[in-house]
Structure 1
Amino acid sequence: MKPTWDIFCTVVDNYGDIGVTWRLARQLVAEHGMAVRLWVDDLQAFLRLCPQLDPGAAQQWQQGVEIRHWPATWPGAEPAQVVIGAFACQLPDGYVQAMAQQPTPPLWLNLDYLSAEDWVQGCHGLPSPQANGLRKYFFFPGFTEQTGGLLREASLLPRCQALRQTPGERERFLGGLGVQPQQGARLISLFAYENPQLGNWLDVLAADAQPTHLLVPQGRILGDLGAWLGTAQLPVGALHRRGGLTVQVLPFVSQDDYDRLLWSCDFNAVRGEDSFVRAQWAGVPMLWHIYIQQENAHWDKLEAFLVLYREGLSPAAGQALVELWRAWNMDRPMGQAWAALQPHWDEVREHARQWQAAQAARPDLATRLVQFYRNSL
């Protein structure tokens, strides 16, 4: 019998939470032979990532994963052997009671948000005894050996390499999105939250002697983009040129196609957690728009990652990279920071490749979760 896993996901920010849990569920099934149920409270948001999904079905199977709608009124279900509450979501009371009644209690894991902060290493894997006698363990994704690793399917980097090395493959993929970049243009993807610094950055790109082709999938940044372009109408396929900058609006693509988009670009601006990790696997320079928290608590998380990520860069290149990320996330002059990074472009590009290789040398998140489960037996 295959070990059974239940993953619970509350969709908080449209796609980040479900994006991570959907990738994880598929990998546990495909690579580790687990039987996985993914409980999701918002199937409509899930539909954007999995177009084959039936948003009205209480139960269905997609890519080997059993998808269950998690309604406000708990329908009841026998607990799995491994139970994951993603991102501190609260499991149904009835389910927790059923867990406590099992002859062998399930392994209960709280899969937390990704962070590079120092305290994460000390908390990863620790138990949290519950009043009903169950134990819940903290499981933190991360960038060091003392954490739970990053999501990475076994085929991910080989597929990235194949797209880049197979003649015409990159062009075929971009052509399928209606993208035909001009010769010598720097290709940049932009997926971000609202940002007042966007116009300042675009002004510099438009004035640059090197042409830039900016690819913007549908999302929250389109309002700021439209304000800079002077239009409220930015349908999919919209193409605008200003100086050396070409701006093109793309459709909201599947997870696999978003990976291919990141692999196809020379620079990726990403947001949240799922896209942030995928951009690191692309191995090219990147910019992270971190999810905003009250009282700017997210800045500590940003700075903690930058401490790790800048290791190996020269002081000048490291400082330029840090100032770019701070400008984007702290409402500072973005155009000035972008211009200051350009003299260090080759070094930052090589550093992105080295970071990708270093992270790929560590076990991935799904593998570490399975190891944790087997060690608990």
Structure 2
Amino acid sequence: MRAFWEIFCTVVDNYGDAGVTWRLARQLVAEHGQRVRLWLDDLAALARLCPEADVDAARQWQVGVEICRWPVHWQPVEPADVVIEAFACRLPEAHVAAMVDRRRRVLWLNLEYLSAEDWVGGCHGLPSLQPGGLQKFFFFPGFTTDTGGLLRERGLIERRRAFQADAVARADFLRSLGVQACPGERLISLFAYENAALSSWLEAVASEGHPTLLLVPEGRILDDLRRWLAVPSLAVGDGQRRGALRVQVLPFVRQEAYDRLLWCCDFNVVRGEDSFLRAQWAGRPLLWHIYPQADGAHRDKLEAFLSLYVEGLPPAAAGALQELWRVWSAGVAMGPAWSALADQWPELRAHAERWCARQAARPDLTAALVQFYADWL
């Protein structure tokens, strides 16, 4: 069934909000043949992920998705069959009124942030009665069978495994970013928020006997990195060496290229929600820099995911991983935790692939949304 979907998104967390909704919109069109209109209040964020996007256009089409700037002063439009407010953004009141008046009823979904907390499964799919007789349903992405699943395109894992098995393809891709990896060099990607723990971690990596290449896309962590390197500035293409550690700054790349960067690396440090999930699909050990919240709520989310993720790991490996994530999130010294993790590397690498395969065996989020609409009808 071909339906008309519209997705509303206010960009709060840098590129994560735009990244998730852009992936969802593209997948609805490409894999399910749906018509999609994406409302964004910050087209500049989208343009970093999709360079073809015109930041000045009020309305445009990219890869079959209609993209509209969410105006400050709302102009009435006909509501879609399915209206998604992403991450609890507030729909224009006039649009909600139009949804009430529409002859064909509208499915209203609140697509929530990704979380592994226990309460998520109990709230997924619950309705909330709204004025005018509308019902809004809460749709929770998640890692368990009682949630809506995870964003994953068709054939993603197979493409990733084929790429990782092809040394020539990996080298060609890295060269396209200006990167020439040396034989035997461990590759680590770093995309994170500012973090006081960075210097202690990099000191530990630089003092190891194993040569490491740290690939750092443009982002908020660059100032911390510059201070540790004691250089006046860092720009795309710049490279520095400290001990066994070689550092190179990369351009901010589109989503598809970022996936391949993660696939190239042995260890990925990621942030937010979108890159966090893409690192899991890479099937490699990772470190998550969860978005810090003033009330400390991020710590509960971190612990909930860790509890789920380490299931099946031997105690030593589970403990090493948990400790590294906790000290990184707390911004405290990383050296001992990094050394402990290194001792568990083979087990953690095998576990990352097992985790990926287990999550990929479940229906993906976009398919679950389409099925939810069909069942609702």
Which category describes the TM-score, using the shorter chain as reference length? Answer: over 0.9
Give deviations 1:321-351, integer Å, cap 9, x for gaps.
0000001001232111101111110000000
Compare 153-162 and 281-290 and name the one that shifted more. Answer: 153-162
> In the TM superposition, what are the counterparts of 1:226-305 in structure 2 within 5 Å?
226-305=226-305
Distance 1:66 1:133 in 2: 29
Distance 2:215 2:283 in 1: 18
Q: Give the match for residue 132 of structure 1.
A: 132
Q: Give the match for residue 366 of structure 2.
A: 366
Q: Give the match for residue 2 of structure 2.
A: 2
Q: Give the match for residue 84 of structure 2.
A: 84
Q: CA deviation at 1:152?
A: 0.2
Q: CA deviation at 1:46?
A: 1.2
Q: CA deviation at 1:166?
A: 2.9
Compare 1-10 and 94-103 and name the one that shifted more. Answer: 1-10
Distance 2:180 2:336 in 1: 29
Sequence identity percentage: 64
Q: CA deviation at 1:155?
A: 2.8
Q: Give the match for residue 17 of structure 2.
A: 17
Q: Is the 8 A contact 2:195 2:221 kept in 1?
A: yes
Give deviations 1:170-199, integer Å, cap 9, x for gaps.
000001111111111110000000000000
- Tell me the secondary structure at the aligned position of residue 97 of structure 1: helix
Give deviations 1:259-316, integer Å, cap 9, x for gaps.
0000000000000000000000000000000001112110000000000000010011
Q: CA deviation at 1:151?
A: 0.4
Q: Give the match for residue 357 of structure 1.
A: 357
Distance 1:366 1:131 in 2: 28
Q: Does 1:29 align with 2:29?
A: yes
Distance 1:191 1:278 in 2: 12
Q: Does 1:72 align with 2:72?
A: yes
Q: Does 1:55 align with 2:71?
A: no
Aligned residue identity for 1:305: F
Q: Give the match for residue 325 of structure 1.
A: 325
Distance 1:189 1:261 in 2: 8
Q: Does 1:214 align with 2:214?
A: yes
Q: CA deviation at 1:65?
A: 0.3
Distance 1:345 1:50 in 2: 35
Give deviations 1:33-67, integer Å, cap 9, x for gaps.
10000011111121111110111111110001001
Q: Is the 8 A contact 1:213 1:248 kept in 2?
A: yes
Q: Is the 8 A contact 2:196 2:332 kept in 1?
A: no
Q: Give the match for residue 188 of structure 2.
A: 188
Q: Give the match for residue 100 of structure 2.
A: 100
Q: CA deviation at 1:16?
A: 0.4
Q: Give the match for residue 199 of structure 2.
A: 199
What residue ranges of structure 2 are gaps of 5+ in the alignment?
none
Distance 2:218 2:201 in 1: 19
Distance 1:373 1:9 in 2: 20
Distance 2:251 2:10 in 1: 25
RMSD of aligned residue pairs (Cα, Å): 0.9
Q: Give the match for residue 45 of structure 2.
A: 45
Distance 1:339 1:131 in 2: 56
Compare 313-322 and 177-186 and name the one that shifted more. Answer: 177-186
Corresponding pairs, count: 377
Distance 1:44 1:354 in 2: 37
Length-normalised TM-score, structure 2: 0.99
Q: Give the match for residue 347 of structure 1.
A: 347
Q: CA deviation at 1:167?
A: 4.4
- Tell me the secondary structure at the aligned position of residue 359 of structure 1: helix
Q: Is the 8 A contact 2:324 2:334 kept in 1?
A: yes
Distance 1:228 1:66 in 2: 44
- Tell me the secondary structure at the aligned position of residue 7 of structure 1: strand
Distance 1:45 1:173 in 2: 24
Q: CA deviation at 1:165?
A: 2.1
Q: CA deviation at 1:163?
A: 1.3
Q: Give the match for residue 122 of structure 1.
A: 122
Distance 1:96 1:120 in 2: 26
Q: CA deviation at 1:131?
A: 2.3
- Tell me the secondary structure at the aligned position of residue 26 of structure 2: helix
Aligned residue identity for 1:323: E
Aligned residue identity for 2:188: I
> In the TM superposition, what are the counterparts of 1:162-177 in structure 2 within 5 Å?
162-177=162-177
Q: Is the 8 A contact 1:223 1:232 kept in 2?
A: no
Q: Is the 8 A contact 2:206 2:242 kept in 1?
A: yes
Distance 1:180 1:55 in 2: 33
